[in-house]
Amino acid sequence: MRSTQSLSATTVLFTLGSTLIGTVSAQTFQRLGTCPTLGCVFPPDQTHFLAGQLFDVRLEVHAPVNGSEASNKGVPDEKFTFCIAHERGPCVDAAKFWEVKEAPIEKWSFSYFEDLYAKDAKQSTVVNVAAKAYRALSLKKPGDYTAKLKYNNGATTVARWVVRKPNTRRKAKNVLFFIGDGMTQPMITAARLIAHKSINGVYQSLMQLDQMDNLGHQMTHSIDSFITDSANSATALYTGKKSSVNALNVWADSSKNSHDDPKVETIAELFRRRIGGALGIVSTAVIADATPAALCAHTRDRGQAQTVVTEYLHSAEFVNSTYKWPTGCKQPDVIFGGGAENFIAGKGSPNGTDYYKEFQKAGYKVVHTKKDLLAAGKKDKTLGIFSVSNMAKWIDRNILPENLKGQKNSPTGDGTDAIDQPGLKDMTLKALEILTARSKKNEGWFLMSEAASIDKMMHVLDYDRALGELLELDDTVRASIAWLKKTGQYDDTLIVVTADHGHGFDVFGGADTKYLAEQTSDRAKRGAVGVYQNSGLSGYTVAEGSSPTNQTIVYGAQGPNFPVQWNPRYAYAAGMGASPDRREQFDLELGGPRLPAINDPTSGNIVNPKDNPNGFSVSGTLPIDEGQGVHSLQDVSVFANGPGSEAFRGVYNSIDIFFKIADALALGRT
């Protein structure tokens, strides 16, 4: 039996005699997340909607051929029925309820492993499926709905849906939504420690995040696993719907096709369709990466960069016109980030065509350097792609610029180096300028700006670079607030800063990096770590060579609100809750982002012998096929200023962020 959910006798027939049965109670290997019974309803039970938000309905009836749930001789019931009741009203057949054509039956099969033993034995369970889909529907009346799938002569799967009562008075004209990918409170605390000076325990300056008006925290878990990825969590933030790892704005169905999964409309699509305001997307990652992609794209597989780029320019319906989807991002006014490989002709662009040209044909100005970005006017829709792959990190751009050389990552694809890349602040401020100029009188604008490489650098355990990205985000929030005040828009703009998930990072002491490097055994090196009273004071806020009588602080590129010294002798000692085998020496990686582990063809991931050769070894806790750190469970902070921001106080679920923003914009108003 699966989980603690009791399955009715009509839905489960046990095939005894199999070596597999009896132990499949854990949730790790699911037949299909969100569908513990043999009848599946998407949107699943407990889904909350904004009034009028578009979504698809997918129904599936499963008939496992073998394994612990084998039933109906593997023949799925095709005569299933599906009805919806509003409040205490009658349960009305779906086609009638929505006044749409009856959907045709679709059929497919899939297989999965019931647990690790089955996987080791390569014994997969085969499931035959009968399904239907209804596309682009909505529920307009607030209240409770009961959706019932009846199948297998009397088995019923019930999904309870709620249409939340929408706010009808618009509070905010604009929304500035910052996401620090993977950013947690321990990282913010560590960033404050290295960038802000304290005297006898009193900070002389603070992070911008420390000074926001409202603070809450949100739960990031996914619909069918308690750890999320960025696609899944961005789906929750932007649609108010929990989903599965790797899914962008769809509920994962069991078919192979990653475009036919039931879709849901995002905050960006709603903002375009219902208000027609200006839309901007900024990220330091590949622009087709999950967090930016989730504003516009719909696919079960976040890896489909071409689908994502196509949906920025066109729509989900353009990707496959079989699936009606009369909404979309309708060509965002601003798209800034990395990922030139998805635009350059003949690389990973859609159809292999020059996608910069496709954007130009649609009226976009295209820029590739910081210089051109800063010089760009504010009238045109603008696409800024500044590097192949993810953009350079703040530390490399500002402290170790030599690391930008030899990358051959020019966004034009000519094989030169992308030396002149903007940072998050440059991109965000230019985006604000363009969106302000392009937004018509009362429509306002919506900008999502992502500090993506907090996460990317935490994955490779490069704590310094991750904190550099976090400080750049903080600096960007600070500069954006100042710019909004200067242009008289601050009182009309809801600003939200949050993360999409955590990483198990924290600081546990100080480290004398000089002493550590000079010891010869692992155990002696660990003596360089100072805990509690031996953790000492931050060496990052004091310039090298300064003394009580020489308080000269060298800012330069490292500026106020950043460390004045990135590689002090007395560093912070930090670690991850989960990592591959690694070595630690707690100093700045001078040659560019860290690579803690390498994949050995026979043993899996092992310590990279070139990483931290003077450090001590730390045993990993992850499966050996993981060469990087992974996401963690913790709730993440939410900071908010401006109209509608009081709603962000307290503790809530990630999906509530969508509803809070939608309410500030009155997007559910009909």
Ligand X SMILES: *[C@@H]1O[C@H](CO)[C@@H](O)[C@H](O)[C@H]1NC(C)=O
Q: What's the chain's length in residues?
A: 670
The reply to whether 69 sits in an annotated binding site is: no
Q: What distance lies between CA 536 and its chain's CA centroid? A: 36
For residue 516, give the H/E element and its range: helix 513-518
Q: Could you tell me where the beta strands, DSSP code E, fall in 513-596?
A: 529-530, 570-576, 582-584
- Judged by CB under 5 A, the chain residues 39 through 78 that form the site for Zn ion are none
Q: Are 264 and 532 in contact (CB under 8 A)?
A: no
Please report whether residue 512 would count as binding Zn ion according to CB under 5 A. Answer: no
* Residue (3 or 322) nearer to ligand X, CB: 322
User: Which residues make Cβ contacts (< 8 Å) with residue 489, sequence separation at least 6?
Assistant: 173, 174, 436
| 455 interface partner picked from Zn ion, ligand X, none, CB below 5 to 8 A per type | Zn ion
Asked if 322 interacts with ligand X (CB under 6 A), we say yes
Give the whole-angstrom CA distance, residue 625 versus residue 644: 45
Among the candidate windows 358-366, 379-387, 455-463, 523-531, which touches Zn ion by CB under 5 A? 455-463
Q: How far is the CB of 393 from Zn ion (least distance, A)?
A: 15
Q: How many CB atoms lie within 10 A of CB 286?
A: 26
For residue 248, the cross-strand partners are 299
The 624-663 site mask, x for binding ligand X (CB under 6 A), equals ----------------------------------------
In the DSSP assignment, the letter for residue 291 is H
> Among the residues of 390-493, which ranges form H helices?
394-398, 424-438, 453-459, 463-486
Tell whether residue 589 is a contact of Zn ion (CB under 5 A): no
With contacts defined by CB under 5 A, name the span among 209-217, 273-281, 451-459, 634-642 that binds Zn ion: 451-459
Q: How far apart are CA 507 and CA 636, in angstroms?
A: 17
Token pair of 157 as six digits: 């799967």
Among the residue ranges 75-83, 318-326, 373-381, 452-460, the one whose residues contact Zn ion (CB under 5 A): 452-460
Q: Could you tell me the smallest distance in angstroms from the CB atom of residue 81 to ligand X?
A: 23
For the window 230-259, what string marks contact with ligand X as x by the rule CB under 6 A? ---------------------------x--
Please give the angle made by the CA atoms of 568, 574 and 578, to the nearest 5 degrees: 150
Please check if 181 is assigned to a binding site.
yes
Question: Binding residue per annotation — 450?
Answer: yes
Residue by residue, DSSP assigns 470-486 as: HHHHHHHHHHHHHHHHH
Query: In this chain, which of 17, 201, 545, 548 binds ligand X, going by CB under 6 A?
Result: 545
Name 57's Cβ contacts closer than 8 Å, sequence gap at least 6: 41, 42, 43, 82, 94, 133, 134, 137, 262
Taking the complex as a whole, the smallest distance from the CB of residue 147 to ligand X amounts, in Å, to 23
291 is in an annotated binding site: yes
Region from 505-513, 550-558, 623-631, 661-669 binding ligand X, contact rule CB under 6 A: 550-558
Contact by Cβ (8 Å): 253, 60:
yes
Pick from 10, 27, 66, 225: which binds ligand X (CB under 6 A)? 66
Closest contact distance (angstroms) between CB of 538 and ligand X is 16
Select the residue interacting with ligand X from 204, 550, 602, 603 (CB under 6 A): 550
| Rounded least distance, CB 524 to ligand X, Å | 31
DSSP letter at 600 equals E
d(CA 575, CA 617): 12
Q: Is 262 in the site for ligand X (CB under 6 A)?
A: no
Amino acid at 549: T
**Whole-number Å distance between alpha carbons of 476 and 464:** 18
Residue 271 CA to residue 668 CA, distance in Å, equals 10
129 bridge partner residues: 62, 108
Instruction: Please give the Cα distance from 320 to 258 (Å, whole number).
Output: 11
* Residue 26, token pair as written in the block: 């854990």
Q: Determine the Cα–Cα distance for residues 578 and 322; give it in Å rounded to an integer.
A: 43
Beta carbon of residue 515, minimum distance to ligand X (angstroms, whole number): 22
Query: Binding residues for Zn ion, how many (CB under 5 A)?
Result: 1
Strands 493-498, 445-451: pairing kind: unpaired
Residue 124 partner contact from Zn ion, ligand X, none using kind-dependent CB cut-offs of 5 to 8 Å: ligand X
Q: Tokens 């802000």 — which residue?
A: 196
> Would you say 160 and 45 are in contact if contact means Cβ atoms under 8 Å apart?
yes
- Residue 126 or 227: the one with the smaller Cβ distance to Zn ion is 227
Q: Say whether 625 counts as a known binding-site residue.
A: no
One-letter amino acid identity for 458?
M
- How far, in Å, are 174, 359, 556, 662 from residue 666 at the CA level? 12, 31, 45, 6
Nearer to Zn ion, 68 or 634 (CB): 634
**Residue given tokens 């307009």 in the structure block:** 140
Answer yes or no: are the C-beta atoms of 161 and 87 closer than 8 Å: no
Cis amide prior to 90 (ω within 30 degrees): no
459 labelled ligand-binding: yes
Report what 260 binds from ligand X, Zn ion, none; CB cut-off 5-8 Å by kind. ligand X
Which of 280, 332, 350, 629 is in the footprint of ligand X by CB under 6 A? 350
Instruction: Print the binding letters for residues 301-320 with ligand X: x by CB under 6 A, - otherwise.
Output: ---------x---------x
Known catalytic residue at 222:
no
Catalytic option among 71, 230, 439, 480: 230
Q: Which amino acid is at 427?
A: M
Cβ proximity to ligand X, 136 vs 451, nearer residue: 136
CB 395 within 8 A of CB 566: yes
**Three-class secondary structure of residue 176 per DSSP:** strand
Closest distance between ligand X and the C-beta of residue 128, in Å? 11
Candidate segments 59-67, 135-143, 424-432, 568-576, binder of ligand X by CB under 6 A: 59-67
Q: Which of 544, 555, 590, 613 binds ligand X (CB under 6 A)?
A: 544
Q: Is 469 in the site for Zn ion (CB under 5 A)?
A: no
Binding test (CB under 6 A) with ligand X, winner from 8, 351, 360, 534: 351
Q: Kindly tell me which of 342 and 398 has the beta carbon lying closer to ligand X.
A: 342
- Of 351 and 442, which CB lies nearer to ligand X in the complex structure? 351
The partner in contact with residue 125, picked from Zn ion, ligand X, none with C-beta cut-offs of 5 to 8 angstroms by kind, is ligand X
Residue 113 Cβ vs ligand X, minimum distance, rounded to whole Å: 9
The least CB distance from residue 29 to Zn ion, in Å, is 23
**Of 114, 455, 587, 611, the one binding Zn ion by CB under 5 A:** 455
Q: Which is nearer to ligand X, 227 or 543 (CB)?
A: 543
User: Does residue 67 bind ligand X (CB under 6 A)?
Assistant: yes
Q: How far is the CB of 155 from ligand X (least distance, A)?
A: 22
- Percentage helix, strand, coil, to 5, in the chain? 25, 25, 50
521 interface partner picked from ligand X, Zn ion, none, CB below 5 to 8 A per type: none
How many chain residues interact with ligand X (CB under 6 A)? 23
Report the distance separating Cα 386 and Cα 338, nearest Å. Answer: 5
Copy the structure tokens of residue 330. Answer: 């309708």
Choose between 4 and 550: whose C-beta lies nearer to ligand X: 550
**Which spans of this chain sit near ligand X (rule: CB under 6 A)?**
18, 20, 65-67, 123-126, 257, 260, 310, 320, 322, 350-351, 543-546, 550, 552, 554
Question: Which parts are annotated binding residues for Zn(2+)?
Answer: 181, 455, 459, 500-501, 631
Question: Which parts are annotated binding residues for Mg(2+)?
Answer: 181, 289, 291, 450
**Which spans of this chain sit near Zn ion (rule: CB under 5 A)?**
455
- Please give the positions annotated as active site: 230
